[in-house]
Amino acid sequence: MHNYIRVLEVSKRADDPFTGSRLLLDNPGNIHSISFIFKSLTSTYFDVFTFPPIILPGPIGILGFGAGSAARSILDLYPEVVVHGWELDPSVIGVGRESTLDSQRLRGNTQMGL
């Protein structure tokens, strides 16, 4: 295991930019992933992955997959795309599967073939 990770759910009643979201945090509290229940864009750097013309036809690969925040946004805006992700720490993918990786088109992998 590479990180101490945890999921933090921010109350819908909180006066905070992350109200109603789930955050994947590491030990010092850095945000590695964010997802909102009713919207795919996060108003963070993850949204950059959805800008055209970056999204071309065919599968998309993400190295450093985390819990799948960028992939989730891409899949919401481009439903025809298939996303493959690679992450060093299997526990991060595990937390992502429990909290945000709900798509049949989204696969996280911890085996690097480089």
Every domain of the chain and the residues it spans: 6-109
State the pLDDT at residue 114: 35
Question: What is the per-residue pLDDT for 113?
Answer: 42
Pick the CATH number of 6-109 from 3.40.50.150, 3.40.50.2300, 2.40.30.10, 3.30.750.200: 3.40.50.150
My answer on whether omega of the bond before 53 falls inside 30° of 0, hence cis, is yes
Q: Say which range, 13-17, 36-40, 95-99, has the weakest mean pLDDT.
A: 95-99
Residues 79, 43: Cα–Cα separation, whole Å: 20
- Alpha-carbon torsion 37, 61, 82, 53, what sign? positive
Q: pLDDT band for position 111 (50/70/90)?
A: low
Instruction: Identify which has the larger pLDDT, 82 or 19.
Output: 82
d(CA 45, CA 105): 22
Q: What is the pLDDT of residues 23-34, one digit of tens each?
A: 666 777 777 777
Contacts of 101 (CB under 8 A, 6+ apart): 67, 68, 71, 72, 93, 108
Question: What is the model's pTM?
Answer: 0.52
Block residue for tokens 């109350």: 11
Q: Give the tens place of pLDDT for each residue, 50-102.
A: 876 666 777 888 888 887 878 888 888 888 888 888 888 877 777 777 765 55
Task: Strand 31-36: give its sheet, edge to edge.
Answer: 6-9, 21-25, 31-36
Q: Are strands 31-36 and 21-25 parallel, antiparallel or unpaired?
A: antiparallel
